[in-house]
């Protein structure tokens, strides 16, 4: 698969997640447990920054998804070539190695209530949508980082030699 195709696939895998989070940011409640999540965050000892974000309809995972999309763009668009190779490879591979298996496991476990669906009223489909987003983003980062790894440390050979 070409990196640009993988980047589009990663973006597409995030689309249901973005729609769900946007719906919640505008007051939607389908799939969420009843009650004030910000208050639950505070009771469970979450940092005040996360509580503030939840109070204002901004989920911290949305920021992570945005950072992942920015990394995907840097891996496939010309402006990303101006960045040091390690600044793309390290986060690209780290996210790929963490997000892909986590997302796959979440998609499989959620319908059985073994992940998000078993935590205080969350609907299982929330886990499936989140798992799709994480697995899709992770897999696309792996594919998009691959050409950068292949060219790492190699000196270009002049065409006329």
SS3 track for the chain: CCHHHHHHHHHHHHHHHHHHHHHHHCCCCCCCCCCCHHHHHHHCCCCHHHHHHHHCCCCHHHHHHHHHHHHHHHHHCHHHHHCCHHHHHHHHHHHHHHHHHHHHHHHHHHHHCCCHHHCCCCCHHHHHHHHHHHHHHHHHHHHHHHHHHHHCCCCCCCCCC
Answer yes or no: is 87 within a domain: yes
Q: What per-residue confidence (pLDDT) applies to 107? A: 92
Q: Which domain holds residue 24?
A: 3-32+59-151
Answer yes or no: is 84 within a domain: yes
Q: What per-residue confidence (pLDDT) applies to 116? A: 60
Q: What per-residue confidence (pLDDT) applies to 151? A: 58
Answer yes or no: is 70 within a domain: yes
Answer yes or no: is 71 within a domain: yes
- How many Å apart are CA 145 and CA 93, to the nearest integer? 7
Answer yes or no: is 14 within a domain: yes
CA atoms within 13 A on the CB side of 88: 29
Answer yes or no: is 77 within a domain: yes
Answer yes or no: is 100 within a domain: yes
Q: Using N-to-C axis directions, what is the helix angle for 60-76 and 124-151, rounded to 10°? A: 30
Q: What per-residue confidence (pLDDT) applies to 37? A: 83
The total number of structural domains in the chain stands at 1
Q: What per-residue confidence (pLDDT) applies to 68? A: 93
pLDDT in tens, the chain (161 residues): 888 899 999 999 999 999 999 898 888 889 988 888 888 889 989 999 999 988 887 888 888 899 999 999 999 999 998 999 899 999 999 999 999 999 999 999 888 877 764 556 788 899 999 999 999 999 999 999 988 765 554 444 344 43
Answer yes or no: is 53 within a domain: no
- How many Å apart are CA 54 and CA 41, to the nearest integer? 8
Q: What per-residue confidence (pLDDT) applies to 158? A: 42
pTM of the complete model: 0.84
């Amino acid at each position: 698969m070409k990196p640009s195709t993988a980047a589009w696939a990663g973006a597409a895998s995030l689309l249901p997640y973005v729609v769900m989070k946007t719906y919640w940011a505008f007051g939607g409640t389908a799939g969420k447990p009843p009650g004030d999540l910000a208050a639950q965050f505070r009771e469970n000892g979450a940092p005040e920054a996360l509580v503030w974000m939840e109070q204002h309809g901004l989920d911290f995972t949305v920021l992570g998804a945005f950072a992942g999309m920015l990394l995907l763009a840097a891996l496939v668009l010309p402006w990303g070539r101006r960045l040091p190779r390690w600044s793309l490879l390290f986060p690209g591979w780290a996210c790929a190695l963490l997000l892909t298996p986590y997302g796959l496991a979440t998609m499989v476990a959620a319908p059985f209530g073994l992940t998000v669906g078993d935590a205080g009223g969350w609907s299982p489909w929330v886990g499936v949508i989140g798992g799709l987003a994480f697995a899709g983003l992770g897999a696309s980062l792996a594919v998009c980082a691959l050409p950068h790894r292949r060219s790492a440390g190699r000196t270009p050979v002049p065409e006329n030699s």
